[in-house]
Structure 1
Amino acid sequence: MIDLFTGTAISLAAPRSSDIEEMKTWRNSHYLRMVDTDYAFPKVPESPSKALEFRIRTNEEDQLLGFAALHSIEWNNQCALLAIGIGEEEHRGKGYGAEALQLLLQYAFYELNLNRVGLDVISYNEPAIRTYRKAGFKEEGRLRETVLRDGKAFDRIVMGILRREWVALQAE
């Protein structure tokens, strides 16, 4: 049997109440502008949602690195959207997000029996776009100039992956 929540370097873990304070430090404007299309604003921890939320933690030190979630789940259509983020700049570009993405897709397709997982990403978030493409996501469309930042307009890229596409990539 596969371990649904543990990868080589990281694990998808349940949220802890102690995470809130650390995650507040990630809410600087740069981080918010990379993962959210809403305007940057210091946010209060949200009330529990219907999303399946995980924290990304290192296996060795149990250090909090980020979050991953499946949300907007439509059970009748076997589809969901995902959100993922690595909090501190020093932890980005090390493969943690890519590994968390693979674990989240494994969970979505093998445990939840979903057929499709989608997302949207701001066009200037090139590292995330590369990670999604490498994981097998395909661009399905663009919402042109829907994100306005610093006097410039950016597209929101809609991407998705089907279960059969992801399974085929795992076999390679």
Structure 2
Amino acid sequence: MTLTTDNLFYSKRLKMTPPRSEDVQTMLQWNEDPEYLRNVDTDLAIPYSEKQLEDEGETKNKEVYFRLRTREEDMLIGFVVIHGIEWNNRCGQLAIGIGLAKHRNKGYGTEALNLILRYAFHEMNLDRVGLDVIAYNAKAIRSYEKVGFQLEGRARSAVFRDGKRYDRLMMGILRPEWETHNQIHTEGKQV
């Protein structure tokens, strides 16, 4: 597979970009959606301030952060990040969020996952990417499984929401697993 700048940050419908100053107003809207806040983090659902959002996404040594935009309209729809990178072990953790409800359930999450995994494995030269997800987030779990993530463990009763306890699931994917899975599901198509 030959990678070029054209397809390193682009998929069929999405592109990964650095943060832009105008993103903050869109992201403030995401903060008004409790479903978004409660699926993107296990901590308290607290909206970020404008200043906090302006500072979000500064790529650091142990983190690579992108905003997700549609290719055609250049519309901000989410973010994706590889964080907690251990360069010596060639592994990192993935986090993803699709901001507005109107952009969810359209396949953007799965497409973005393949895009960031291609970047993580082929550009960052990682061997393993992990993540954790709350057990009630069935749509995200399905998306992770679609691209080849496997359940590796669970922290039982680790999240308390609306008077109920939920498990926190740990999932992971290895580079050879993603490459094999990706070939099977995209045979003949450019990813």
Amino acid at match of 1:43: Y
Partner of 2:36: 31
C-alpha distance in 1 between matches for 2:151 and 2:134: 12
Aligned residues: 172
2:69 & 2:169 partners in 1: Cα distance?
28
Letter paired with 1:38: D
State the alpha-carbon separation in 1 of the partners of residues 70 and 48 from structure 2. Answer: 25
Distance 1:34 1:60 in 2: 27
Work out the CA distance in 2 between the residues paired with 1:168 and 1:33.
33
Counterparts of 1:49 and 1:65 in 2: how far apart (Å)?
A: 19
User: Distance between the aligned counterparts of 1:133 and 1:30, measured in 2?
Assistant: 21
Residue by residue over 1:147-171, the C-alpha shift from the partner in whole angstroms, topping out at 9 and shown as x without a partner, is 1000000110000000010111122
Equivalent position of 1:143 in the other structure: 155
Deviations 1:91-130 (A, max 9, x none): 1011111111000000000011100000000000000000
Letter in structure 2 aligned against 1:171: Q
Give runs of aligned pairs for residues 14-93 of structure 1, distance below 5 A.
Answer: 14-28=18-32, 29-44=34-49, 45=52, 47=55, 48=58, 50=60, 51-93=63-105
Tell me, in whole angstroms, the C-alpha distance in 2 between the residues paired with 1:164 and 1:54.
24
CA distance in structure 2 between the aligned counterparts of 1:73 and 1:155, rounded to whole angstroms: 24
2:147–2:182 CA contact under 8 A, matched in 1? no
| Superposition TM-score, scaled by structure 1 size | 0.96
In structure 2, what residue type is equivalent to 1:35? V
Offset, 1:83: 0.4
Q: Secondary structure at the match of 1:53?
A: strand
Aligned to 2:15: 11
Does residue 161 (structure 1) correspond to residue 173 (structure 2)? The answer is: yes
Structure 1: runs of 5 or more not aligned: none
Give distance in 1, aligned partners of 2:183 and 2:118.
13
Name the TM-score, length of structure 2 as normaliser.
Answer: 0.87
Q: Which secondary structure state, in structure 1, belongs to the residue aligned with residue 167 of structure 2?
A: strand
**1:134 counterpart (146, 149, 159):** 146
Aligned-pair identity (%): 53
Partner of residue 122, structure 2: 110
Is residue 85–residue 92 contact of structure 2 (8 Å, CA) maintained in 1? Answer: yes
Aligned mates of 1:148, 1:106 — CA distance in 2 = 34
